[in-house]
Amino acid sequence: MPNFLLELGTEELPASFVASSVRQWERLVPATLAEQSLTNESINVYATPRRLAVLIEGLPIKQSDREEEVKGPPASSAFKDGKPTKAAEGFAKKQGVEIDALSVRATDKGDFVFVLKKIPGRLSADILTELVPQWINKLEGKRFMRWADGDLKFPRPIRSIVALLDDTVLPIALVSGSDTVKSDRISQGHRVLHPQPVSIPQAEDYVECLRAACVEVDRTQRKNQIKAQVEAAATKQGGYADITEDLLEEVTDLVEWPNAVVGKFDEEFLILPPEVITTIIVTNQRYFPILKSPDFPELLPYFITISNGDPAASAIIAAGNERVVRARLADGEFFYKADLAKPLEDYLPKLEKVTFQEDLGTVRAKVDRLCKIASLITNQLQITAEEKAYIERAALLCKADLVTQMVYELPEMQGIMGQKYALACGEAKAVATAIFEHYLPRGAGDNLPQTLTGQIVGIADKLDTLVSIFGLGMLPTGSSDPFALRRAANAIINIIWAAQLPINLHQLLAEVVAEFTVIRPETSPELLSQLYEFFLQRIRTLLQEEKNVDYDLVNAVLGENDPEYTERALKDLLDTLERALFLQEIRNDKTLDRIYETVNRSTRLAAQGDLDKVELEPKNAVKPELFQKSSEQAFYDAVVQLVPQTLLSKQTRNYQQLVESLTDIAPAVSNFFDGPESVLVMDSDPEIKRNRLNLLGLLRNHARVLADFGAIVNRF
């Protein structure tokens, strides 16, 4: 069975596109082959900075023949007195068959003419020739470019095409204005180690031919080689390689024939914070640092670079890299010493010259706002005077490092250098830690702040950004969120949940908006409601996507168009999380099944009454003297016994106790509806009807302490 090879030879591609293109072709190529009924034994996508390739093995020579039934005109118009009409003849001619091949079959819309056509399979070579341009044109990425004078777009110019079906070149051409690239069997080896062209005899020889030309096209193999070489080089220096996945992925797509080269820097630079050295080595240079121990960030004065050049020139390559690193570290040392020359607080006046946002003033103004917000948060919490002092100090200093020379040069060091400089000038450890932690989490999967001071200052900072940007009317839309407001809201919620902070977010938002309105009186009156809705959306998303709570259970906790429930959710985020997780738990263990029908049936009927949704006390809502059946009295007595259990569950958030009480009341409710003493709820007497609806409303209200059962979908 034939094998097919396609290779696009290009100028050096951006590293991010290399990995992305592999993933895209791994989805696209199998899907398009399946659409054409082209089976295969395997599909492998290869990529380096100078090429993108796919090798498909075990293809058929051609598609299988197939049959297709085609519906024609109604039988009444195709045949008259048993003879074919022009309609039948035209249909037969169009389908390329004789009249005898037509058949009549009954359908829902009457008798119609049909023909069963045999469609011969097309040659795989012809289909592949058509598919290749689709595979190229459907690739997506950032910053595509045009070259020559044509309209063809790709991240970098395409210089060659290899298209082989076994040993036969398929005729494929890419035209970009006056520039035309035609397919052949000639690929390119490594620029330095094998600059001569590489002729590919057969498709299946591709990987080995390129390896012989010092190009490892298998991305996974190349990545494993890099990891092994870096680890071996670090061990040789008596240390441990600090290999982050992001750096390993990027370096894999920067080289075709990896060669680890060890460089050294002067030990005097180790006085710099390890984060500074690591940022220079990793972020700026894409080198791997070497640690003394795998568990601590203490560095050895070495680094490892992955060269794409001649291994024989490793010493020259190392020397060049060392000169670059030495210069960058010397700059870092100068900035570090200069910054330490004065205490962190002395940098605050410079924040008045840094703009936070054009309509919101300077970073110094932002610091003043977040200090007020931090104070509002501490007013809600029972904390010591010492903790409050730490929070006030950290809030004041948390942005001061933005105007230091080190952070100006290396913006990635914001917060990190603030912590270092705070400790160096004698600030309390709690204050210094909070300066770093208030930026957390910096992205998906990052740590949350662990100290109370860091948590409160972090919430204050993010809340100020949210309220301020919302206040300008710059709400996130669709995928556009330039100020990362969704991430900020998610962080606030996750910090509160993880740290078990009893913060009333509903009240806090109202207070912060009130403060903002004083500064900007023209603020929209809808600002507060917009923020409430935004946070509810984020809570909903986090519960479903991160906590794995079913969507209907989330609705049951947050309410749908239910102001009382939505307000409750924002007032007590901890209770909201607990109720959602508890509902999922009792759904999983089937406990929910035992109370669902009882509560849901009562909830649906109670909606036709007018009882307040928060009333729990039977004597305030039901008149026993109007009872006509013993089932009503039994129901009433059961609700009376339910009151203390519900109040205790509400106070202690022990919802298991409430569920057990609702389970106990189920027989009385069932007898009320369907037993020998069952009643007609919608009685003709309005007083009796209202009394019975109130009885059901009481049960609904007790259940609402846990959830709105009307929003829960029956799954059994």
Q: What is the per-residue pLDDT across 294-342, written as a single tens digit (0 to 9) for each?
A: 888 899 999 999 999 999 999 999 999 999 999 999 999 999 999 999 9
Distant-in-sequence, close-in-space partners of 327: CB < 8 Å, separation ≥ 6? none
pLDDT-based confidence at residue 217 (cuts at 50, 70, 90): very high
Q: How far is Cα 281 from Cα 325, in angstroms, rounded to an integer?
A: 7
Q: What is the mean pLDDT of residues 17-22?
A: 95
Residue 130 and residue 6 in contact, taking contact as beta carbons nearer than 8 Å: no
- Find the helix or strand (DSSP H, E) in which 106 lies: strand 102-107
Q: How far is Cα 614 from Cα 320, in angstroms, rounded to an integer?
A: 74
- Find the helix or strand (DSSP H, E) in which 221 lies: helix 219-236
Closest alpha carbon to 463 in 434, 485, 478? 485
Q: How far is Cα 48 from Cα 590, in angstroms, rounded to an integer?
A: 53
pLDDT of residue 178: 75
Q: How far is Cα 192 from Cα 20, in angstroms, rounded to an integer?
A: 26
Give per-residue pLDDT as tens, 561-596.
Answer: 788 888 999 999 999 999 999 999 999 999 998 899
Q: Give how far Cα 548 sits from Cα of 481, 553, 581, 584, 627, Å.
A: 25, 10, 9, 8, 45
Q: Is 189 helix (H, G, I), strand (E, B) or coil?
A: coil
Give per-residue pLDDT as tens, 446-462.
Answer: 999 999 999 999 999 99
Closest alpha carbon to 705 in 638, 658, 665, 668? 658
Tokens of 510: 């109202």
pLDDT of residue 29: 96
Q: How far is Cα 473 from Cα 379, in angstroms, rounded to an integer?
A: 29
Q: How far is Cα 51 from Cα 170, in angstroms, rounded to an integer?
A: 18
Q: How many Å is the Cα radius of gyration of the chain?
A: 36
**Taking CA 96 as the corner, what is the angle to CA 94 and CA 101, rounded to the nearest 5 degrees?**
105
Q: Is 367 helix (H, G, I), strand (E, B) or coil?
A: helix
- Mean pLDDT, the chain, whole residue set: 93
Closest alpha carbon to 378 in 394, 364, 363, 362? 394
CA torsion 493-498-500-506 (nearest 10°) is 0
CB atoms under 10 Å from CB of 113, counted, come to 23
* DSSP secondary structure string for all residues of 447-502: PPP-SHHHHHHHHHHHHHHHHHHHHTT---BTTB-TT-HHHHHHHHHHHHHHHT--
Query: For residue 607, with 0-12 CB atoms within 10 Å meaning exposed, 13-18 middle and 19 or more buried, which class applies?
Result: middle
Please, what sign has the CA dihedral across residues 159, 163, 167, 169? negative
Distant-in-sequence, close-in-space partners of 401: CB < 8 Å, separation ≥ 6? 344, 347, 407, 413, 414, 415, 417, 418, 421, 435
- First CA to last CA distance, the chain: 51
Percent over 90 (pLDDT), the chain: 78
Distant-in-sequence, close-in-space partners of 582: CB < 8 Å, separation ≥ 6? 655, 656, 706
List the beta strands (DSSP E) in 265-366: 288-293, 296-307, 355-357, 361-362
Confidence (pTM): 0.83
Q: How far is Cα 269 from Cα 328, in angstroms, rounded to an integer?
A: 10
Residue 467 and residue 513 in contact, taking contact as beta carbons nearer than 8 Å: yes
Q: How far is Cα 91 from Cα 104, in angstroms, rounded to an integer?
A: 13
β 179-184/158-165 pair status: parallel
pLDDT of residue 578: 96
Between 80 and 349, the higher pLDDT residue: 349
Tokens of 273: 């914070």
pLDDT at 426 over 90: yes
Closest alpha carbon to 265 in 217, 325, 181? 325
Give per-residue pLDDT as tens, 112-156.
Answer: 989 888 878 889 999 999 999 999 999 999 889 988 777 888 999
C-alpha 190: how far from its chain's center?
37
pLDDT of residue 715: 67
Closest alpha carbon to 252 in 219, 287, 203, 290? 219
Helix axes 485-499, 527-545, angle to 10 degrees: 70
pLDDT at 346 over 60: yes
Task: Name residue, tokens 């040392």.
Answer: 333
Cis? peptide before 155, omega within 30° of 0: no
Overall size of the chain counted in residues: 716
Q: What is the mean pLDDT of residues 679-707?
A: 93
C-alpha 384: how far from its chain's center?
38
Which amino acid is located at 373 in the chain? I
Residue 7 and residue 53 in contact, taking contact as beta carbons nearer than 8 Å: yes
Helix axes 563-571, 551-558, angle to 10 degrees: 90
User: Could you give phi then psi for residue 524, rounded to 5 degrees?
Assistant: -60, 135
Q: What is the mean pLDDT of residues 681-710?
A: 93
pLDDT-based confidence at residue 189 (cuts at 50, 70, 90): very high
Residue 511 and residue 527 in contact, taking contact as beta carbons nearer than 8 Å: no
Q: How far is Cα 50 from Cα 189, in angstroms, rounded to an integer?
A: 10
The b/e string for 455-493 (b: 16+ C-beta within 10 A; e otherwise) is bbbbbbbbbbbbbbbbbbebebeeeeeebebebbbbbbb
pLDDT at 716 over 70: no
List the beta strands (DSSP E) in 120-178: 145-146, 153-154, 158-165, 168-169, 173-176
Give per-residue pLDDT as tens, 651-673.
Answer: 998 999 999 999 999 999 999 99
Task: Name residue, tokens 């509903």.
Answer: 506
Give per-residue pLDDT as tens, 493-552.
Answer: 999 999 999 999 999 999 999 999 988 888 888 999 999 999 999 999 999 999 999 999
